[in-house]
Chain A
Amino acid sequence: MKNTRASRLSEYSRELGLLAFIVVLALLFQMRNPKFLTLSNLKDLFTNTAILGVLSVGMMMVLLTGGIDLSIGATIAFSGMVTALTVSANPAISPLLSLLQGMAVGLVIGVIIGVLIAYCKILPIIASLGMMNIVRGLTYLVSKGKWVSAYQMSDSFKAISTGTTLGINNLVVIAIVIYLIFSYFLNNTRTGRYVYAVGSSPETADIVGIPRRRILLLVYATMGALAGLAGVLWVSRYASAQGDTAQGYEMSVIAAVVLGGVSVSGGRGKVSGIILGTILFGMLNNALPLINVSPFWQQAIQGVVILLAVISNVLIKRNNDRMTLRKRAI
Protein backbone atom coordinates (compact mmCIF):
# COMPACT_ATOMS: atom_id res chain seq x y z
CA MET A 1 0.00 0.00 0.00
CA LYS A 2 1.58 3.17 -1.15
CA ASN A 3 0.12 6.43 -0.02
CA THR A 4 2.03 8.65 -2.38
CA ARG A 5 -0.07 11.20 -4.14
CA ALA A 6 0.83 9.88 -7.59
CA SER A 7 -0.44 6.37 -7.00
CA ARG A 8 -3.55 7.70 -5.27
CA LEU A 9 -4.32 9.97 -8.17
CA SER A 10 -3.88 7.25 -10.73
CA GLU A 11 -6.01 4.83 -8.71
CA TYR A 12 -8.68 7.47 -8.66
CA SER A 13 -8.30 8.06 -12.38
CA ARG A 14 -8.72 4.35 -12.97
CA GLU A 15 -12.20 4.51 -11.48
CA LEU A 16 -13.04 7.63 -13.44
CA GLY A 17 -11.86 5.85 -16.56
CA LEU A 18 -14.06 2.89 -15.74
CA LEU A 19 -17.02 5.20 -15.22
CA ALA A 20 -16.34 6.94 -18.54
CA PHE A 21 -16.10 3.55 -20.23
CA ILE A 22 -19.45 2.52 -18.72
CA VAL A 23 -21.09 5.71 -19.99
CA VAL A 24 -19.65 5.33 -23.50
CA LEU A 25 -20.65 1.69 -23.63
CA ALA A 26 -24.16 2.53 -22.43
CA LEU A 27 -24.52 5.16 -25.18
CA LEU A 28 -23.29 2.68 -27.79
CA PHE A 29 -25.77 0.05 -26.63
CA GLN A 30 -28.49 2.71 -26.60
CA MET A 31 -27.73 3.55 -30.24
CA ARG A 32 -28.02 -0.08 -31.27
CA ASN A 33 -31.15 -0.74 -29.23
CA PRO A 34 -33.21 2.14 -27.79
CA LYS A 35 -34.73 -0.23 -25.21
CA PHE A 36 -31.45 -0.32 -23.29
CA LEU A 37 -31.73 2.92 -21.32
CA THR A 38 -35.35 2.50 -20.29
CA LEU A 39 -36.33 2.42 -16.64
CA SER A 40 -37.65 -1.14 -16.79
CA ASN A 41 -34.48 -2.45 -18.43
CA LEU A 42 -32.24 -0.63 -15.96
CA LYS A 43 -34.31 -2.11 -13.11
CA ASP A 44 -33.80 -5.53 -14.67
CA LEU A 45 -30.09 -4.86 -15.02
CA PHE A 46 -29.63 -3.93 -11.37
CA THR A 47 -31.83 -6.75 -10.08
CA ASN A 48 -29.91 -9.29 -12.16
CA THR A 49 -26.56 -7.87 -11.11
CA ALA A 50 -27.33 -7.68 -7.38
CA ILE A 51 -26.35 -11.30 -6.67
CA LEU A 52 -23.08 -10.74 -8.55
CA GLY A 53 -22.56 -7.66 -6.36
CA VAL A 54 -23.04 -9.63 -3.14
CA LEU A 55 -20.47 -12.19 -4.27
CA SER A 56 -18.01 -9.65 -5.62
CA VAL A 57 -17.43 -8.24 -2.14
CA GLY A 58 -16.41 -11.64 -0.81
CA MET A 59 -14.26 -12.42 -3.83
CA MET A 60 -12.56 -9.05 -3.54
CA MET A 61 -11.50 -9.89 0.02
CA VAL A 62 -10.21 -13.27 -1.12
CA LEU A 63 -8.22 -11.68 -3.96
CA LEU A 64 -6.93 -8.98 -1.57
CA THR A 65 -5.20 -11.72 0.44
CA GLY A 66 -3.69 -13.05 -2.79
CA GLY A 67 -5.93 -16.12 -2.85
CA ILE A 68 -8.74 -17.35 -5.04
CA ASP A 69 -11.97 -19.23 -4.42
CA LEU A 70 -13.34 -21.38 -7.23
CA SER A 71 -15.87 -23.17 -5.06
CA ILE A 72 -18.50 -20.45 -4.80
CA GLY A 73 -20.59 -21.66 -7.74
CA ALA A 74 -20.92 -25.00 -5.99
CA THR A 75 -21.61 -23.31 -2.64
CA ILE A 76 -24.41 -21.27 -4.24
CA ALA A 77 -25.96 -24.45 -5.62
CA PHE A 78 -25.62 -26.35 -2.34
CA SER A 79 -26.96 -23.65 -0.04
CA GLY A 80 -29.74 -22.88 -2.51
CA MET A 81 -30.65 -26.56 -2.75
CA VAL A 82 -30.63 -27.14 1.02
CA THR A 83 -32.77 -24.04 1.64
CA ALA A 84 -35.17 -24.89 -1.17
CA LEU A 85 -35.60 -28.43 0.15
CA THR A 86 -36.28 -27.06 3.65
CA VAL A 87 -38.82 -24.60 2.29
CA SER A 88 -40.59 -27.23 0.23
CA ALA A 89 -40.81 -29.47 3.32
CA ASN A 90 -41.99 -26.66 5.68
CA PRO A 91 -43.73 -23.98 3.60
CA ALA A 92 -44.49 -21.97 6.73
CA ILE A 93 -40.83 -21.18 7.40
CA SER A 94 -40.01 -17.47 7.51
CA PRO A 95 -37.93 -16.05 4.64
CA LEU A 96 -35.55 -14.50 7.13
CA LEU A 97 -34.85 -17.93 8.57
CA SER A 98 -34.19 -19.24 5.05
CA LEU A 99 -31.65 -16.48 4.48
CA LEU A 100 -29.94 -17.34 7.76
CA GLN A 101 -29.97 -21.03 6.93
CA GLY A 102 -28.34 -20.41 3.56
CA MET A 103 -25.70 -18.20 5.13
CA ALA A 104 -24.99 -20.82 7.78
CA VAL A 105 -24.54 -23.54 5.17
CA GLY A 106 -22.21 -21.30 3.18
CA LEU A 107 -20.33 -20.32 6.32
CA VAL A 108 -19.58 -23.96 7.17
CA ILE A 109 -18.17 -24.56 3.67
CA GLY A 110 -16.21 -21.31 3.85
CA VAL A 111 -14.74 -22.22 7.23
CA ILE A 112 -13.62 -25.62 5.90
CA ILE A 113 -11.89 -23.97 2.93
CA GLY A 114 -10.40 -21.36 5.24
CA VAL A 115 -8.98 -23.97 7.60
CA LEU A 116 -7.55 -25.93 4.67
CA ILE A 117 -5.85 -22.83 3.30
CA ALA A 118 -4.81 -21.07 6.51
CA TYR A 119 -3.91 -23.97 8.77
CA CYS A 120 -3.24 -26.92 6.45
CA LYS A 121 -1.27 -24.64 4.09
CA ILE A 122 -2.98 -25.92 0.95
CA LEU A 123 -2.80 -23.60 -2.06
CA PRO A 124 -6.10 -21.70 -2.42
CA ILE A 125 -6.67 -22.92 -5.96
CA ILE A 126 -6.23 -26.56 -4.98
CA ALA A 127 -8.28 -26.35 -1.78
CA SER A 128 -11.13 -24.55 -3.51
CA LEU A 129 -11.03 -26.81 -6.60
CA GLY A 130 -11.25 -29.84 -4.32
CA MET A 131 -14.09 -28.33 -2.30
CA MET A 132 -15.85 -27.32 -5.51
CA ASN A 133 -16.01 -31.00 -6.49
CA ILE A 134 -17.06 -32.14 -3.04
CA VAL A 135 -19.80 -29.53 -2.59
CA ARG A 136 -21.11 -30.00 -6.13
CA GLY A 137 -21.27 -33.75 -5.53
CA LEU A 138 -23.10 -33.17 -2.23
CA THR A 139 -25.64 -30.97 -4.02
CA TYR A 140 -26.54 -33.86 -6.30
CA LEU A 141 -26.63 -36.23 -3.34
CA VAL A 142 -29.00 -34.18 -1.15
CA SER A 143 -31.31 -33.51 -4.09
CA LYS A 144 -31.01 -37.08 -5.40
CA GLY A 145 -30.61 -35.56 -8.86
CA LYS A 146 -34.02 -33.87 -8.77
CA TRP A 147 -34.94 -30.20 -9.10
CA VAL A 148 -36.90 -28.09 -6.68
CA SER A 149 -39.31 -26.10 -8.84
CA ALA A 150 -41.34 -22.96 -8.39
CA TYR A 151 -44.55 -24.68 -7.25
CA GLN A 152 -42.71 -26.35 -4.35
CA MET A 153 -41.61 -23.01 -2.92
CA SER A 154 -43.76 -20.86 -0.68
CA ASP A 155 -44.82 -17.44 -1.94
CA SER A 156 -43.07 -15.70 0.92
CA PHE A 157 -39.81 -17.41 -0.11
CA LYS A 158 -40.15 -16.29 -3.71
CA ALA A 159 -41.04 -12.82 -2.44
CA ILE A 160 -37.49 -12.40 -1.12
CA SER A 161 -36.36 -11.48 -4.59
CA THR A 162 -39.56 -9.97 -5.99
CA GLY A 163 -40.50 -7.79 -3.02
CA THR A 164 -39.38 -4.21 -2.64
CA THR A 165 -38.17 -2.02 0.19
CA LEU A 166 -38.75 1.71 -0.25
CA GLY A 167 -39.58 1.05 -3.87
CA ILE A 168 -36.28 -0.68 -4.56
CA ASN A 169 -36.02 -4.41 -5.24
CA ASN A 170 -34.90 -6.37 -2.17
CA LEU A 171 -31.93 -7.90 -4.00
CA VAL A 172 -30.57 -4.47 -4.82
CA VAL A 173 -31.17 -3.34 -1.23
CA ILE A 174 -29.27 -6.35 0.11
CA ALA A 175 -26.38 -5.68 -2.29
CA ILE A 176 -26.21 -2.01 -1.24
CA VAL A 177 -26.28 -2.91 2.46
CA ILE A 178 -23.46 -5.39 1.94
CA TYR A 179 -21.42 -2.85 -0.03
CA LEU A 180 -21.85 -0.34 2.81
CA ILE A 181 -20.97 -2.82 5.57
CA PHE A 182 -17.85 -4.09 3.85
CA SER A 183 -16.76 -0.68 2.66
CA TYR A 184 -16.78 0.39 6.33
CA PHE A 185 -15.16 -2.85 7.44
CA LEU A 186 -12.32 -2.74 4.90
CA ASN A 187 -11.54 0.96 5.23
CA ASN A 188 -12.31 1.83 8.83
CA THR A 189 -11.59 -1.18 11.01
CA ARG A 190 -8.28 -2.60 12.07
CA THR A 191 -9.19 -6.11 10.91
CA GLY A 192 -10.19 -4.70 7.53
CA ARG A 193 -6.80 -3.05 7.09
CA TYR A 194 -5.15 -6.34 8.14
CA VAL A 195 -6.81 -7.98 5.12
CA TYR A 196 -4.89 -5.59 2.86
CA ALA A 197 -1.70 -6.07 4.85
CA VAL A 198 -1.84 -9.85 4.59
CA GLY A 199 -2.21 -9.62 0.82
CA SER A 200 0.42 -6.91 0.35
CA SER A 201 3.15 -8.85 2.06
CA PRO A 202 2.45 -12.01 4.04
CA GLU A 203 5.96 -12.06 5.53
CA THR A 204 5.71 -8.51 6.82
CA ALA A 205 2.26 -9.24 8.20
CA ASP A 206 3.73 -12.15 10.14
CA ILE A 207 6.62 -10.06 11.42
CA VAL A 208 4.48 -7.19 12.71
CA GLY A 209 2.28 -9.68 14.50
CA ILE A 210 -0.86 -9.66 12.37
CA PRO A 211 -2.75 -12.92 12.97
CA ARG A 212 -2.36 -13.86 9.31
CA ARG A 213 -3.95 -17.28 9.53
CA ARG A 214 -6.99 -15.98 11.37
CA ILE A 215 -7.43 -13.25 8.75
CA LEU A 216 -7.27 -15.84 5.97
CA LEU A 217 -9.84 -17.97 7.78
CA LEU A 218 -12.06 -14.92 8.24
CA VAL A 219 -11.84 -14.01 4.57
CA TYR A 220 -12.77 -17.45 3.26
CA ALA A 221 -15.50 -17.85 5.89
CA THR A 222 -16.98 -14.49 4.80
CA MET A 223 -16.79 -15.55 1.16
CA GLY A 224 -18.60 -18.79 2.06
CA ALA A 225 -21.33 -16.99 4.03
CA LEU A 226 -21.90 -14.50 1.20
CA ALA A 227 -22.03 -17.35 -1.32
CA GLY A 228 -24.56 -19.08 0.93
CA LEU A 229 -26.64 -15.92 1.04
CA ALA A 230 -26.35 -15.59 -2.73
CA GLY A 231 -27.54 -19.19 -3.05
CA VAL A 232 -30.83 -18.38 -1.31
CA LEU A 233 -31.26 -15.21 -3.36
CA TRP A 234 -30.49 -17.11 -6.55
CA VAL A 235 -33.04 -19.85 -5.88
CA SER A 236 -35.65 -17.29 -4.87
CA ARG A 237 -34.92 -15.18 -7.95
CA TYR A 238 -35.02 -17.98 -10.52
CA ALA A 239 -37.58 -20.02 -8.53
CA SER A 240 -35.74 -23.26 -9.14
CA ALA A 241 -32.90 -25.16 -7.46
CA GLN A 242 -30.91 -27.57 -9.59
CA GLY A 243 -27.79 -29.65 -9.26
CA ASP A 244 -25.98 -27.54 -11.83
CA THR A 245 -27.13 -24.15 -10.54
CA ALA A 246 -24.49 -21.44 -10.90
CA GLN A 247 -21.96 -23.77 -12.53
CA GLY A 248 -18.99 -21.65 -13.53
CA TYR A 249 -20.46 -18.56 -11.90
CA GLU A 250 -17.21 -18.06 -9.96
CA MET A 251 -15.67 -16.95 -13.25
CA SER A 252 -18.23 -14.17 -13.66
CA VAL A 253 -17.53 -13.01 -10.13
CA ILE A 254 -13.77 -13.02 -10.67
CA ALA A 255 -14.29 -11.15 -13.94
CA ALA A 256 -16.37 -8.45 -12.27
CA VAL A 257 -13.86 -8.04 -9.45
CA VAL A 258 -10.76 -7.79 -11.63
CA LEU A 259 -12.63 -5.40 -13.93
CA GLY A 260 -13.06 -3.26 -10.84
CA GLY A 261 -9.30 -2.99 -10.52
CA VAL A 262 -8.65 -5.52 -7.76
CA SER A 263 -5.19 -6.98 -8.22
CA VAL A 264 -5.06 -10.76 -8.39
CA SER A 265 -1.70 -10.77 -6.64
CA GLY A 266 -3.22 -9.26 -3.54
CA GLY A 267 -3.30 -6.09 -1.48
CA ARG A 268 -4.85 -3.76 -4.04
CA GLY A 269 -8.51 -2.98 -4.64
CA LYS A 270 -11.40 -0.83 -3.49
CA VAL A 271 -15.10 -1.37 -2.91
CA SER A 272 -15.94 1.61 -5.15
CA GLY A 273 -13.95 -0.12 -7.90
CA ILE A 274 -15.80 -3.41 -7.66
CA ILE A 275 -19.17 -1.63 -7.67
CA LEU A 276 -18.24 -0.17 -11.06
CA GLY A 277 -16.75 -3.48 -12.20
CA THR A 278 -19.92 -5.32 -11.25
CA ILE A 279 -22.13 -2.78 -13.03
CA LEU A 280 -19.96 -2.94 -16.15
CA PHE A 281 -20.05 -6.73 -16.16
CA GLY A 282 -23.79 -6.78 -15.47
CA MET A 283 -24.25 -4.33 -18.33
CA LEU A 284 -22.38 -6.60 -20.76
CA ASN A 285 -24.59 -9.54 -19.72
CA ASN A 286 -27.73 -7.45 -20.04
CA ALA A 287 -26.94 -5.65 -23.27
CA LEU A 288 -25.34 -8.35 -25.41
CA PRO A 289 -28.66 -10.20 -25.94
CA LEU A 290 -30.37 -6.85 -26.54
CA ILE A 291 -28.03 -6.03 -29.43
CA ASN A 292 -28.43 -9.55 -30.84
CA VAL A 293 -25.13 -11.11 -29.85
CA SER A 294 -25.53 -14.89 -29.85
CA PRO A 295 -25.52 -16.39 -26.34
CA PHE A 296 -22.72 -18.68 -27.51
CA TRP A 297 -20.44 -15.68 -27.85
CA GLN A 298 -20.92 -14.58 -24.27
CA GLN A 299 -18.49 -17.01 -22.66
CA ALA A 300 -15.63 -16.04 -24.95
CA ILE A 301 -16.37 -12.35 -24.52
CA GLN A 302 -16.37 -12.84 -20.75
CA GLY A 303 -12.98 -14.54 -20.92
CA VAL A 304 -11.48 -11.82 -23.09
CA VAL A 305 -12.83 -9.21 -20.69
CA ILE A 306 -11.14 -10.91 -17.71
CA LEU A 307 -7.85 -11.25 -19.55
CA LEU A 308 -7.86 -7.63 -20.76
CA ALA A 309 -8.80 -6.43 -17.27
CA VAL A 310 -5.98 -8.27 -15.50
CA ILE A 311 -3.47 -7.26 -18.16
CA SER A 312 -4.50 -3.61 -17.97
CA ASN A 313 -4.25 -3.80 -14.16
CA VAL A 314 -0.67 -5.01 -14.56
CA LEU A 315 0.20 -2.31 -17.11
CA ILE A 316 -1.29 0.41 -14.91
CA LYS A 317 0.66 -0.84 -11.92
CA ARG A 318 3.89 -0.99 -13.92
CA ASN A 319 3.28 2.57 -15.03
CA ASN A 320 2.60 3.66 -11.45
CA ASP A 321 5.76 2.03 -10.19
CA ARG A 322 7.80 3.62 -12.95
CA MET A 323 6.40 7.03 -12.12
CA THR A 324 7.15 6.57 -8.44
CA LEU A 325 10.69 5.50 -9.25
CA ARG A 326 11.21 8.50 -11.53
CA LYS A 327 10.05 10.85 -8.79
CA ARG A 328 12.45 9.27 -6.36
CA ALA A 329 15.37 9.69 -8.77
CA ILE A 330 14.83 13.44 -9.00
Chain B
Amino acid sequence: MDAVVLAEMSRAWEESRAEDSSDRHEEGGYIVLNADWSYGVERWTRGEKSQIVPPTLDLDNCYNAKTVVAVFHTHPNPPIDEAGQEWEQGPSESDRRWHGRRKLRGFVISQSLVYEINPNATISVLGKRNEVLAP
Protein backbone atom coordinates (compact mmCIF):
# COMPACT_ATOMS: atom_id res chain seq x y z
CA MET B 1 0.00 0.00 0.00
CA ASP B 2 1.09 3.58 -0.59
CA ALA B 3 3.45 4.94 2.12
CA VAL B 4 1.52 8.18 2.60
CA VAL B 5 -1.74 6.28 3.03
CA LEU B 6 -0.18 3.78 5.43
CA ALA B 7 1.27 6.58 7.54
CA GLU B 8 -2.12 8.30 7.77
CA MET B 9 -3.87 5.06 8.67
CA SER B 10 -1.29 4.45 11.41
CA ARG B 11 -1.71 7.99 12.69
CA ALA B 12 -5.47 7.57 12.75
CA TRP B 13 -5.08 4.43 14.83
CA GLU B 14 -2.77 6.17 17.31
CA GLU B 15 -5.14 9.13 17.58
CA SER B 16 -8.03 6.77 18.33
CA ARG B 17 -6.43 6.19 21.75
CA ALA B 18 -7.56 2.59 21.89
CA GLU B 19 -5.60 2.05 25.09
CA ASP B 20 -7.57 4.72 26.95
CA SER B 21 -10.96 3.43 28.08
CA SER B 22 -12.29 6.93 28.72
CA ASP B 23 -11.09 8.55 25.51
CA ARG B 24 -11.06 5.87 22.81
CA HIS B 25 -12.93 7.05 19.74
CA GLU B 26 -13.16 6.47 16.01
CA GLU B 27 -11.02 8.24 13.42
CA GLY B 28 -11.13 7.94 9.65
CA GLY B 29 -10.45 9.47 6.29
CA TYR B 30 -10.86 9.42 2.55
CA ILE B 31 -8.04 8.09 0.38
CA VAL B 32 -8.02 10.44 -2.61
CA LEU B 33 -6.31 10.79 -5.92
CA ASN B 34 -4.33 14.03 -6.20
CA ALA B 35 -4.00 16.07 -9.38
CA ASP B 36 -0.51 14.62 -9.96
CA TRP B 37 -1.93 11.08 -9.68
CA SER B 38 -0.37 10.51 -6.27
CA TYR B 39 -2.48 9.28 -3.37
CA GLY B 40 -3.44 11.56 -0.53
CA VAL B 41 -5.63 11.36 2.55
CA GLU B 42 -8.37 13.72 3.65
CA ARG B 43 -8.93 13.05 7.34
CA TRP B 44 -12.35 13.42 8.96
CA THR B 45 -13.25 15.16 12.16
CA ARG B 46 -13.01 13.05 15.30
CA GLY B 47 -15.71 10.45 15.76
CA GLU B 48 -17.40 9.09 18.85
CA LYS B 49 -16.71 6.02 20.95
CA SER B 50 -18.32 3.63 18.49
CA GLN B 51 -19.29 5.58 15.40
CA ILE B 52 -18.14 8.27 13.02
CA VAL B 53 -19.87 10.37 10.36
CA PRO B 54 -17.89 10.82 7.13
CA PRO B 55 -18.20 14.23 5.46
CA THR B 56 -20.63 14.32 2.55
CA LEU B 57 -19.35 13.19 -0.84
CA ASP B 58 -20.34 14.58 -4.21
CA LEU B 59 -22.53 12.33 -6.34
CA ASP B 60 -19.48 11.15 -8.26
CA ASN B 61 -17.63 10.22 -5.03
CA CYS B 62 -15.45 13.32 -5.05
CA TYR B 63 -14.38 15.26 -1.96
CA ASN B 64 -12.71 18.68 -2.13
CA ALA B 65 -12.62 18.20 -5.93
CA LYS B 66 -10.56 15.01 -5.58
CA THR B 67 -11.72 11.54 -6.51
CA VAL B 68 -12.14 9.29 -3.48
CA VAL B 69 -10.70 5.86 -4.27
CA ALA B 70 -11.14 4.24 -0.86
CA VAL B 71 -12.04 4.92 2.75
CA PHE B 72 -10.65 3.89 6.14
CA HIS B 73 -11.78 4.18 9.73
CA THR B 74 -10.87 2.73 13.11
CA HIS B 75 -12.61 0.40 15.54
CA PRO B 76 -10.83 1.20 18.81
CA ASN B 77 -12.99 -0.80 21.21
CA PRO B 78 -11.47 -4.14 22.28
CA PRO B 79 -13.32 -7.48 21.94
CA ILE B 80 -14.34 -7.16 25.61
CA ASP B 81 -13.88 -3.81 27.29
CA GLU B 82 -13.16 -2.86 30.90
CA ALA B 83 -16.90 -2.86 31.69
CA GLY B 84 -17.33 -6.36 30.29
CA GLN B 85 -19.13 -5.19 27.15
CA GLU B 86 -18.56 -7.22 24.01
CA TRP B 87 -17.61 -5.36 20.81
CA GLU B 88 -17.74 -6.51 17.22
CA GLN B 89 -14.26 -6.11 15.76
CA GLY B 90 -15.10 -6.25 12.08
CA PRO B 91 -17.24 -3.97 9.94
CA SER B 92 -20.76 -3.33 11.21
CA GLU B 93 -23.97 -3.48 9.20
CA SER B 94 -23.94 0.30 8.91
CA ASP B 95 -20.34 0.14 7.62
CA ARG B 96 -21.39 -2.33 4.94
CA ARG B 97 -24.45 -0.28 4.05
CA TRP B 98 -22.41 2.94 3.68
CA HIS B 99 -19.79 1.32 1.43
CA GLY B 100 -22.35 -0.63 -0.57
CA ARG B 101 -24.35 2.51 -1.35
CA ARG B 102 -21.28 4.29 -2.69
CA LYS B 103 -19.54 1.29 -4.23
CA LEU B 104 -16.38 2.32 -2.42
CA ARG B 105 -13.66 0.09 -1.05
CA GLY B 106 -12.88 0.51 2.63
CA PHE B 107 -10.51 -0.52 5.39
CA VAL B 108 -11.41 -1.00 9.03
CA ILE B 109 -8.54 -0.90 11.51
CA SER B 110 -9.21 -2.86 14.69
CA GLN B 111 -7.01 -3.83 17.61
CA SER B 112 -5.79 -7.05 16.00
CA LEU B 113 -6.78 -7.03 12.35
CA VAL B 114 -7.36 -4.82 9.35
CA TYR B 115 -10.55 -5.70 7.48
CA GLU B 116 -11.39 -4.83 3.91
CA ILE B 117 -14.88 -3.88 2.77
CA ASN B 118 -15.21 -4.47 -0.93
CA PRO B 119 -17.30 -2.18 -3.15
CA ASN B 120 -20.06 -4.80 -3.15
CA ALA B 121 -20.04 -4.66 0.69
CA THR B 122 -18.51 -8.10 1.20
CA ILE B 123 -15.85 -8.35 3.88
CA SER B 124 -12.45 -9.97 4.06
CA VAL B 125 -9.48 -9.86 6.41
CA LEU B 126 -6.51 -7.99 4.98
CA GLY B 127 -4.13 -9.07 7.73
CA LYS B 128 -2.81 -8.33 11.20
CA ARG B 129 -2.87 -4.64 12.05
CA ASN B 130 0.79 -4.38 13.01
CA GLU B 131 1.80 -6.12 9.79
CA VAL B 132 -0.54 -4.31 7.40
CA LEU B 133 0.33 -0.89 8.82
CA ALA B 134 4.07 -1.55 9.07
CA PRO B 135 6.04 1.11 7.18
A and B: bona fide binding partners: no
